[in-house]
Structure 1
Amino acid sequence: MKILGSEEWCQLNLLGVPAIKARVDSGAKTSSLQANNVKFITKGLEEWVRFEVNPIQENRSVAVPCEAKLVDVRTVKSSQGISEERPVVRTMVTLGDDSFEIELTLANRDTMEYRMLLGREALNGRYLVDPSKSFCHGEVTEKDMKAKYSPYFTKKTGLTLGLLASNPNLYSNKRIIEAGEARGHEVVFLNAEHVYMKLDASSPEIRYRGGNILDMFDAVIPRIKPSITFYGCALLRQFDTLGVYCLNSADAITKSRDKLFASQLFAKNDIHIPITGFAKSPLDTKDLIRMVNGSPLIIKLLESTQGKGVVLAETNKAAESVINAFKSVQTNILVQEFIKEANGQDIRCFVVNGKVVASIQRQAQKGEFRANIHQGGKASLIKITAEERKLAVKSAKAMDLVVAGVDIIRSNRGPLLLEVNSSPGLEGIENATGKDIANVMIETIEKKLKFV
């Protein structure tokens, strides 16, 4: 009996797929193939399936159109334990010198390491598996892949990027569009409130006001304002379903916008923040104040942004009044210790793809307790310490954000994290540092999509 390694190169000639790397998995019953844009069609009296295969990992630009007769629709449990209905087709597979018929379930394996999985039904009676080996039936080089798929490699002048936001006239949005176009890409502004979606297992869609189907984007850059976080993140999940890369994911943005959950994640990941308290009952207010070392203290609305909804209570009595007033109208707040030695200064670190690309120090205007450029604060260049750099990178990673504005405050016990922003503004930090951060964001998308 012939031997297979843990991974092998296969051919699916009847589907027009000349080479695809498959993971050999005897633990899975049925073989599986990555498929996008799956649609059920009728040919005569028979049901068929039309779909696209992206045979090269992390390359959505090569899409092979396929058609096959529908054999079945089965409920399959994924490796994550999620059950889903998948269409089943039957086709010929070639491994080295051997060709035989197999059944394939069609699934979105875009996030998986392999675009195809060979299950035990394909292996039984034909092969033994030696997991210590790979490519026992021949290898396919990158050069070979380019030759095999040359008809599908189209010369592209640039990517098509969607900027999902609300105001095209904001500095940050204009800069991102400029940076993308300067690098030869088409950047389309999408007003998030004008985008809507069709939820359907066979043909999901995203549409724009007027009925235009948005099916041409390579990536989406989300800059979602807090008031539409729920809807904006729903749109991002739909783009992700359609195979569009999102610079920040819906899950990451949702985590960063929930200040209580974010604070819990920071504590879990050993990221130091000012002492923070949260309680529901007014009966616990006095102990809540004591817990954060008393007044002066900071009171934050859970959905505050850009310094709005943040209050300094200078006495315990004032703190108690404000806290109980918020609770009386069922408004969730955090109570946080006040770092007096910071003197109204904080540090904004702009993190992109796991690196701090720029840093500024922000100074609150006279009479304010917290630095905020949107409210008259001043920004200046600063050289951050290795500890502060590490804290910024770790904080962005804890939120799973590719792009993040990380706010840090210097205290007597070392740097403390204030907040992580999923849609950080570019104006203050670009003007203060002279760095083209918008360009770095576009470069990150190019690297992710392997655009050359």
Structure 2
Amino acid sequence: MFSNKIIVGSEEWCGFSQLGVPAIKARVDSGAKTSSIHAFNIKTFKRDSCTWVSFDIHPVQNNRKTVVHCQAPVIDKRLIKSSNGTTERRYVIRTPISYNGESWEVELTLTNRDSMGYRMLLGREAMHDRILVDPSSSFLGGDKDSNEVHKLYGSSDSQPNGLNIGLLASDPELYSNRRIIEAAESRGHRITFFNIKQCYLKLDAETPEVHYRGGSILNSLDAIIPRIRPSLTFYGCALTRHFQSLGIYPLNTAEAITQSRDKLFSLQLLQRSGLQIPTSGFANSPIDTTDLIDMVGGAPLIIKLLEGTQGRGVVLAETKKASESVINAFKSLRANLLVQEFIKEANGKDLRLFVINGKVVAAMQRTAAPGEFRANVHQGGSTEVVKVTPDERKIALKAAKTLGLAVAGVDIIRSSRGPLLLEVNSSPGLEGIETATGKDIAAEMIYAIEKKLKWTLKA
């Protein structure tokens, strides 16, 4: 019964000759129904009246330099729930897989797997009636070292000859930071992670400098990418401002980041530019609580801490009594807060539009997790690709321009009176938008720096 079955371990090397992928390490997972492969820059087109899809693959884990450009007919588009709980609609292709001298056709869904441990997942549909899994073993079909993989793809570890870029952030292992580093290196740039807390400044009319731990001087950078967490806004912006004074190009300026981080000030700037926002109120005295609630249309309403981020410090108060209690409790703690109308018809959904240098490069819809009122992937919400309207696109572009941001995540909510602008994020995360859309947003950020500094990739 089992004599004709292929025995595989929990991880194996396989290949896809029709896609130009001679070797890719796969996670073998009989608990997953469908198989998936890492893909980005996913675009459909017509060929002989049939729908095809073009996409790029980085077949080697933690390597953005090796890129394979692929095309295949689309056989389906399915709603897939991933292991982290998010749901997305993916294109499905069918192509031969090769493993240890054997070959058979499998279906693959296309998705961005940068946040996963493997560039490919082999699910049980591809293994049906053909494979048995020994989860205690690995690479029963043979392992490959990095030199073998490099030879297969004709890649090399040449020294970068591009720009000298600094990434100013707090955690080098964060998905967004890893992706930015990979994208810059894949374009031949030298990029270095600098922990904001370990940078310090020399203010001097003759020789102003930025130093890093141990005394190294950072004045020779061509550009910086500030990714400043809210708790470090003051120091991070002071640091970015100092780099600017040295003639080093910042992807987002200190002034723009400061404006976007002040929720009240940013809303004032945005409404002054004619952008529609949910009716909001701000007050200092508890005496004004009742009128503050009435001013935004009464309960239910949203209460936001001005210093909150990623959905934290946001409360839905469903009754007037609850609203008064929450507002007065926050005020007693001397916390600054906004009171904002609740858009019931949004049904727990909002849009995130990613703007880079005056262009919307990607958009997704976020849906709140069951029991939550606010769309937020940090709190278990789901994401999917969405087609935005021309008005929504214009709002996102105008919002980023108003705040002076070259890179911005613009959040919009759909209401009965049209799209409303919620807020603008100066350090938007990449994981949700890249996973949902399959687009290489990190590369778009690097392209923006290259364009500003008039740098071109040398052959």
Question: Superposed, which structure 2 residues align to 1:262-277 within 5 Å?
Answer: 262-277=266-281
Deviations 1:298-331 (A, max 9, x none): 0000011000000000000000011011111111
Give the letter aligned to residue 411 of structure 1: S
Give the letter aligned to residue 394 of structure 1: K
- Secondary structure at the counterpart of residue 378 of structure 2: helix
- TM-score of the two chains, using structure 2 as the length reference: 0.64
- Secondary structure at the counterpart of residue 335 of structure 1: strand
- Secondary structure at the counterpart of residue 313 of structure 2: strand
Shift of 1:432: 0.7
Deviations 1:216-254 (A, max 9, x none): 210000000000000000000100011100000000000
Task: State the partner residue of 1:287.
Answer: 291
Task: State the partner residue of 1:213.
Answer: 217
Inter-partner Cα distance in structure 2 for 1:319 and 1:263: 22
Deviations 1:159-201 (A, max 9, x none): 0000000000000000000000000000100000000000111
Give the letter aligned to residue 323 of structure 2: A
Q: Which has the larger radius of gyration?
A: 1
Task: State the partner residue of 2:190.
Answer: 186
Task: State the partner residue of 1:427.
Answer: 431
Q: How high is the sequence identity, in percent, across the aligned residues?
A: 68
Runs (4+) of structure 1 moved beyond 4 Å?
Answer: none
Indicate yes or no: 2:166 matched with 1:162. Answer: yes
Aligned residues of 2:161 and 2:190 also touching (Cα < 8 A) = no
Number of residue pairs the alignment of both structures matches: 298
Question: Superposed, which structure 2 residues align to 1:56-95 within 5 Å?
Answer: none
Inter-partner Cα distance in structure 1 for 2:271 and 2:432: 29
Deviations 1:121-164 (A, max 9, x none): xxxxxxxxxxxxxxxxxxxxxxxxxxxxxxxxxxx820000000
Deviations 1:50-80 (A, max 9, x none): xxxxxxxxxxxxxxxxxxxxxxxxxxxxxxx
Task: State the partner residue of 1:232.
Answer: 236
- Secondary structure at the counterpart of residue 265 of structure 1: helix
Question: Superposed, which structure 2 residues align to 1:349-428 within 5 Å?
Answer: 349-428=353-432
Inter-partner Cα distance in structure 1 for 2:434 and 2:222: 26
- Secondary structure at the counterpart of residue 299 of structure 1: strand
Indicate yes or no: 2:252 matched with 1:248. Answer: yes
Aligned residues of 2:411 and 2:422 also touching (Cα < 8 A) = yes
Give the letter aligned to residue 421 of structure 2: L
Inter-partner Cα distance in structure 1 for 2:321 and 2:270: 30
Inter-partner Cα distance in structure 1 for 2:236 and 2:421: 26
Shift of 1:267: 1.0
Give the letter aligned to residue 366 of structure 1: P
RMSD: 1.0
Inter-partner Cα distance in structure 1 for 2:322 and 2:219: 54
Unaligned segments of structure 2, at least 5 residues:
1-159
Inter-partner Cα distance in structure 2 for 1:301 and 1:309: 5
Task: State the partner residue of 1:298.
Answer: 302
Give the letter aligned to residue 330 of structure 2: F
- TM-score of the two chains, using structure 1 as the length reference: 0.65
Inter-partner Cα distance in structure 2 for 1:214 and 1:266: 35
- Secondary structure at the counterpart of residue 225 of structure 2: strand
Indicate yes or no: 2:443 matched with 1:439. Answer: yes
Deviations 1:372-417 (A, max 9, x none): 0111000001000000000010011111000000000000000000
Indicate yes or no: 2:329 matched with 1:325. Answer: yes
Shift of 1:364: 0.1
Inter-partner Cα distance in structure 2 for 1:261 and 1:419: 11
Task: State the partner residue of 1:199.
Answer: 203
Inter-partner Cα distance in structure 2 for 1:393 and 1:353: 9
Task: State the partner residue of 1:116.
Answer: none
Deviations 1:321-353 (A, max 9, x none): 110111111110000000000000000000000
Indicate yes or no: 2:352 matched with 1:335. Answer: no
Question: Superposed, which structure 2 residues align to 1:25-64 within 5 Å?
Answer: none
